[in-house]
Amino acid sequence: MSQGDWQLAQGDALTRFLVSAAKAERFAEFYTGETDDPAREVGPDAVSFCRHLFLQTHARRHVDPAQALPCREAVAGVDNTLSFSGFRPQAYHLQRWLRVDLFAPHRGTFAFRVAACGGVRIWKGGELLACFTPFTRNRLQYTDVSLRLNAGRNSLLIHLDELFERETNFALEMIYLDEPTLGASLPEACPPIAPPAVCEPAQDDSARRLLTLMARREYGPELDALLLRTLKRVSAREEGSVFALLALLSLWHRHQGEYFPEVLWRRVKSTALGYRYWHDERGCDVMAFWGEENTLAFQTAQYLAGQLFPEGLFIASGRRGQQQQRLALTRAADARALRAQAEAYLTGEKA
């Protein structure tokens, strides 16, 4: 149809687009810069150190529309919102490109209320019409924009991006505010409309099977593979990896390298020494340090690792193991409970 396949009246949401595949890149994977401010607020609603770095490097960067990914999948939003929300256990920068055609009755500016979890940029024929990059995690932020359109067809290119930290909302709303009705259509013949793809939660191996197989004396390739997978997860500092680290520390204490290739066993120690035990240590990841269970787990891991490797140099903090152990006791709300939990991991009563 020359004037679009559907109409956009005042108050309607633009929710149908052609969408590219997701471009996902690890953010600050090899970050070795300064530590976080120990006085910074920590919690589910606080701005993380990782996001502070992201805002410095990405919020105002130039995005080249000539680098847009092909948009081939037709998607439709729900309840006025197009969402690509999901879960990532590590810090990931996700980008999507969208295309849609708008048909204006005359040349002029047409008002939209744009809301984003993440950042949004809109072009027409290479001209940047709007740029809104609040990057406020998991909370829609709103702005009014005026899009300069020509009479007839206007092909819009939209770029969305966001930093994923654990469970993350990644969404766009575009509400039309003006009175002249606009036409809208997808740019080309498209497959059936589908809901947007989302990031699925990572499967947790939480390292329990590793200890279970050791207790059963079921040694062999599966055990080696489980240990390697656990080491990779802890080394990557994935969300929840502190519990896998506790299993590794228990394994180190109780088995002393039995039944494992030497090179693999040495990685247990290097992984423990390279871990980040609190938010003020060097590193840029999305681990949640708050909440009673998580806080106790990190303090227990710090205490145990310090006890097992008293002279070892812990890379993220620059401290020796003895210092790490003392610091964990100092931070603990209940030092007796911390010691009891640490002993339970060492003896196998807790796994």
Beta bridge partners of 124: 127, 156
Range of the domain at 271: 208-347
State the Rg of the chain over Cα: 25
Residue 255 falls inside a structural domain = yes
Q: How confident is the model at residue 272 (pLDDT cuts 50, 70, 90)?
A: very high
Distance CA 23, CA 176 (A): 28
- Tens of pLDDT, residue by residue over 49-99, are 999 999 999 999 999 999 999 999 999 999 999 999 999 999 999 999 999
**Position 262: which residue type?**
E
304-314 pLDDT, tens digit each: 999 999 999 99
**Are 164 and 216 contained in the same domain?**
no
Q: Lowest mean pLDDT: which of 38-52, 56-70, 130-144?
A: 38-52
Would 194 be classed as within a structural domain?
no
Q: Are 163 and 214 part of one and the same domain? A: no
Residue 202 has pLDDT above 60, yes or no: no
Could you tell me what percent of the chain has a pLDDT over 70?
A: 94
Among residues 153, 185, 217, which one ends one of the domains?
A: 185
Average pLDDT over residues 101-120: 97
Token pair 């969305």: residue? 160
- Residue 1 clears pLDDT 50, i.e. is over it: no
CA 69 – CA 25 distance, rounded (Å):
14
Q: What is the pTM of this model?
A: 0.88
Same domain, 257 and 125: no
Q: State the average pLDDT over residues 140-148.
A: 98
Q: Among the residues of the chain, which ranges form H helices?
A: 49-58, 208-215, 221-235, 241-255, 262-273, 292-308, 321-331, 335-347
For 278-305, write each residue's pLDDT tens digit: 999 999 999 999 999 999 999 999 999 9
Residue 189 has pLDDT above 80, yes or no: no
Answer whether residue 193 is part of any domain. no
Q: Which of 98-102, 225-229, 279-283 has the largest mean confidence?
A: 98-102
The string over 21-40, giving b where at least 16 C-beta atoms fall within 10 Å of a residue's C-beta and e elsewhere, is: ebeeeebbeeeeeebbeeee
Same domain, 171 and 313: no
Residues 176 and 63 reside in one and the same domain: yes
Is 226 found in the same domain as 263? yes
pLDDT at 125: 92
Give me the number of domains the chain comprises. Answer: 2
With a pLDDT cut of 90, the percent of the chain lying above it is 76
195 inside domain:
no
pLDDT in tens, 11-36: 999 999 999 999 999 999 888 888 88
